[in-house]
Structure 1
């Protein structure tokens, strides 16, 4: 594998982790939610230490936000279906 491909794969992995942690932050009540925020910040710092390219850093932010939105939508759909089974069964 080329170094460029490895960098892109690692950027996607780091972005997914950061996006999922930010989604967990937005859905978790109480003080524990700040742990998810700090873990997402730590992942971002690790990524920035490892990769110097401006393009990869911008892509990290964009893809992390996209993963956050996707995970948040999926969690919202699952929560809605779990909390309203009578609406789903009547369709």
Structure 2
């Protein structure tokens, strides 16, 4: 596997995981939400150790925010549909 493809996959996995952990954080009760914030923090530390260039770090931050917003919207839609079922036609 090429080095560039390998780095791209690592970036996708790390940003996907970090965005997911950050979007789950507000949904879980108080003592357990610390686990998700610590996991996001550890993913960030792992990524920053592996990638040292400024461009990749900025891209990690931007993609993590994009995944966070995407997951938050999807989770909000699922919660809304569960709480307000569609009327029978």
Output the TM-score relative to the length of structure 1. 0.90
Name the structure 2 match of 1:56. Answer: 56
Q: Secondary structure at the match of 1:47?
A: helix
Give, in whole Å, the separation in 1 of the partners of 2:55 and 2:9: 14
Structure 1 residue 27: Cα displacement: 1.5
Question: How many pairs align?
Answer: 89
Residue 89 of structure 1 pairs with residue 83 of structure 2: no
Between 1:73-82 and 1:28-37, the stretch displaced more is 28-37
Output the TM-score relative to the length of structure 2. 0.92
| Long gaps (5+) in structure 1 | none
Name the structure 2 match of 1:79. Answer: 79
RMSD after superposition: 1.4
Q: Runs of 4 or more off by more than 6 Å in structure 1?
A: none
Give, in whole Å, the separation in 2 of the partners of 1:31 and 1:5: 38
Deviations 1:23-57 (A, max 9, x none): 11021122110110011000000011111111111
Q: Which residues in structure 2 correspond to 1:21-36 (within 5 Å)?
A: 21-36=21-36
| Long gaps (5+) in structure 2 | none
Give, in whole Å, the separation in 2 of the partners of 1:23 and 1:82: 18
